[in-house]
Amino acid sequence: MLKIVAIDHLVLRTDNLEPMLQFYGDVLGCTLEREDLELGLYQLRAGTGLIDLVTLDGTLGKQGGPAPSAKGNNLDHLCLQIEPEEETKILQYLEAQGIEAGPFKERYGAQGFGPSLYLQDPDGNTVELRCHRYS
């Protein structure tokens, strides 16, 4: 029997590369770890996992059909676990970055119940930021 221990990576197709790199890199703090221009693949480190961005004009992106849109996103949402921090500080940071988010609500995830909020990346994909209780 298999036992899943963590999410390894998530792949998002995009025709909006620079804003997506800025959002996941500058706003959320992921670092660009690897890129393959022929494939149109940009891999960002997100804790122990990766968020892969695939451009529509690259080898991989051409295989997936039309661009993501409000009527056909790539996924329901991506949940990223973040370091514990006061909710007001997180909201202030996101607001300073021009990101609409919130409110925090108690939700269930891989680590049990805890506070999380939703926001949108530049392609309209929903991202949930989740943390354990601030102590």
SS (H, E, C) 66-126: CCCCCCCCCCCEEEEECCCCCHHHHHHHHHHCCCCECCCEEEEECCEEEEEEEEECCCCCE
Residue 132: CB atoms within 10 A of its CB come to 14
Read off the pLDDT of each residue in 62-91 and give the average, rounded to a whole number.
Answer: 79
What pLDDT, on a 0 to 100 scale, did the predictor assign at position 58?
A: 83
**pLDDT averaged over every residue in the chain:** 85
Q: What values do phi and psi take at 20, rounded to 5? A: -70, -40
Residue 100 scores a pLDDT above 70: yes
Residue 2 scores a pLDDT above 60: no
What pLDDT, on a 0 to 100 scale, did the predictor assign at position 92?
A: 94
**75 vs 99 pLDDT, higher one:** 99
Residue 68 scores a pLDDT above 80: no
CATH 3.10.180.10 fits 9-130, yes or no: yes
What pLDDT, on a 0 to 100 scale, did the predictor assign at position 77?
A: 83
